[in-house]
Amino acid sequence: MTRPRKLVTVSHSYVVTLNRRLANEMARVGVGRWDITAVAPRAFHGDLGPLVLQRDPSEPVHIETVRAFLSRSLHGFVYGPELRAHLSRGVDLVHSWEEPYVLSGLEVALLTPRRVPLVFCTAQNLPKRYPPPFAQVERFVVHRASGWVAWGQTVRDTLQARGGYPLRPSRFIPMGVDVEHFQPDAAAGADFRRAQGWMQEGPPVVGFLGRFVQEKGLRLLMRALEGLGTPWRALFVGGGPLEVELRAWAERQGDRVRVVTGVKHAEVPRALNAMDVLCAPSQTTPLWKEQFGRMLAEAFACGVPVCASDSGEIPHTVGDAGRVLPEADASAWTDALAELLESPARRQELATRGRGRAMSRFAWPVVAREHLDFFEEVLQRRA
């Protein structure tokens, strides 16, 4: 009987239990064929403050810890030297969840033995030019790698035109969603609406979930809603610098708008189920375009119809399961919303399509299996 292949997956994000979902699902779907270890920092300085490694005794993946230095900088942080041992003890393949142009990505590439295939993943969907030393770091890591995973079709298309990338096997694999945690739940949605003071049934609820920032298209959505002749309510869930402007606008709309901040991730399914339509009017800028749109996959899983802009990766995420609209055309948004708000049957059709897409494309077991299939392809090519 052949032994399971040993996979080591490295990521600074593994300091948080929720972010180890890919590693845990690979351990579940690969049982008997793969022995999987996740290497995580003992502590890391996250966006909102210091994080200490979280553990869940029910996790099937093995967890090894290393130090992380200079972790206030995602580009400049590095792991401790003990990482070398974790990458060389009978390892068959190393998976680096670090961008190829950052120093930690370089470190993983340098410490992975030459005999061991290295696969990195990337979400870079803009044709950026990096200053030294990051440009040189990227070239080295791409040259050293045996393959790479693109977190989006636009990521893969962009990088296929970049030096070195086309010479390595690659696979577009989307991010995953927990289709058991995110699922249709009308009662939970009704409870969430009541908690916001909507005690009576009323017009359909147009929802937004995400950061309150300009590039997420809040101003376009507000204009589109103002243009509606069809009765509506609106629920904005998230937080960010446009909150003051959004609340001022909401006050002018009377009782039909709610702005909710501080919603934890565990409560997001309740918020989504309170919506009759989710809008994601993301706006492309010179420095940003939507890389995936996690809220879209989560809305699909909850059976919530989706209207989304054509920014970046969104058309590939939505497919034929929702409405994709021009990102700068407020009148097109008004027309699309009017159609959906006036047609429960059309909303139900999109809800069914969305749930099906979540189950077949974004469910974590599906995403994990695609990763393992690609890793096996890389090993076969190496052999």
Domain ranges (residues) in the chain: 5-175+363-382, 186-362
* 57-116 per-position pLDDT tens digit: 999 999 999 999 999 998 999 999 999 999 998 999 999 999 999 999 999 999 999 999
Between CA 177 and CA 191 the distance in angstroms is: 23
CA 290, 292, 297, 298 torsion: positive or negative?
Answer: negative
| pLDDT value of residue 363 | 98
Q: Quick check: do 5-175+363-382 and 186-362 share a fold? A: yes
| pLDDT value of residue 349 | 97
| CA distances, 270 to each of 339, 340, 358 (Å) | 25, 21, 17
| pLDDT value of residue 339 | 97
Domain 5-175+363-382 CATH (choose: 3.40.50.2000, 3.40.50.1370, 3.10.20.740, 1.10.3720.10): 3.40.50.2000
Domain 186-362 CATH (choose: 3.20.20.150, 3.40.47.10, 3.40.50.1980, 3.40.50.2000): 3.40.50.2000
Between CA 191 and CA 188 the distance in angstroms is: 5
Torsion of CA 30, 296, 310, 147, to 10 degrees: -20
Residue matched to tokens 């979540």: 358
* 242-274 per-position pLDDT tens digit: 999 999 999 999 999 999 999 998 999 999 999
Q: Give the pTM.
A: 0.93
State the CB neighbour count (10 A cutoff) for residue 307.
24
- Sites in the chain below the pLDDT cut of 50: none
| pLDDT value of residue 49 | 74
Instruction: Please choose, from the candidates 304, 327, 308, the residue with its C-alpha nearest in 3D space to the C-alpha of residue 317.
Output: 308
| pLDDT value of residue 1 | 53
Is the distance from CB of 306 to CB of 321 less than 8 angstroms?
yes
Strand partners, 8: 37, 94
| pLDDT value of residue 45 | 87
Count Cβ neighbours within 10 Å for each residue of 176-205 and write b for 16 or more, e otherwise. Answer: bbbbeebbbbeebbeebbeebebeeeeebb
